[in-house]
Amino acid sequence: MYKWERSTARPIAQGRSGRIFNVHCVSDGSGLNGEYIQKQFNTNKSVKSFLKELDCQRRAAEIGIAPIIRDFSATHKEGAFMVMDQCSYTLLQLIKEQQGLYVEQLAQIKSLYEGLDQLGIQHNDANIGNIMVINDGEYARLKLIDFGMATTVTGKTNDASWKLLRFRIQREVNTFTPPLLQQK
């Protein structure tokens, strides 16, 4: 198991199931250089629930729609945790920074949910806070996080989640003057 050290004392995000911190690996020879994010779960989360979330996110990461999990513990003294690749910021921050959302970005969000359908995973928590941005030079890749409410299903099931999320994005973007679907 790797040893992780928090880069800041305060969480960068907090939700119902836990808190997210920036961390870096302090183990010698780990090969895990740089910053990562650690989701520290509340102590009341069951091991079974944690392992289900971990499995769903791992499967989503295999096809590139969630950050890769680098480490985890279901028995940590302060509660379960998982460490995943660093995300730059949330979709909400991206919308505010750009003062809108590009057509390509909206298409990328829809493809995240289509990817979940291929895996047979229903995310069940469609909100702007669960889409993270990973900056790759000029290109911002979007990733889904927080699979705590996810279930495994058969067939196309994420269409309603996608429609709800699109509505929430539209509502957020309407606070800016530029139109939602800008051309890049």
Give the residue extent of every domain in the chain. 4-85, 89-177
Amino acid in the structure at residue 151: T
Read off the pLDDT band of 143 (50, 70, 90).
very high
User: 89-177 in CATH: which number?
Assistant: 1.10.510.10
**Residue 131 or residue 135, greater confidence:** 131
Q: How far is CA 28 from CA 4, 6, 25, 32, in A?
A: 11, 16, 9, 9
From 88, 99, 148, 104, select the one nearest 122 (Cα to Cα): 148
CB count, 10 Å around CB of 63?
Answer: 12
How many beta carbons lie within 10 A of that of residue 43, not counting itself?
11
C-alpha dihedral over 180, 166, 21, 94, to 10 degrees?
Answer: -10
**Predicted local distance difference test score (pLDDT) of residue 156:** 67
Reported as type and span, the H/E element at residue 100 is: none
Architecture of domain 4-85: 2-Layer Sandwich (3.30)
Does residue 181 carry a pLDDT above 60?
no
Query: pLDDT tens for residues 40-94?
Result: 777 666 778 888 889 999 999 999 999 999 888 877 566 688 888 888 788 888 8
Of 88 and 183, the one with more pLDDT: 88
Cβ-Cβ contacts under 8 Å for 51 (sequence gap 6 or more) = 74
CA distance 102 to 99: 10
- Specify the pLDDT at position 177: 46
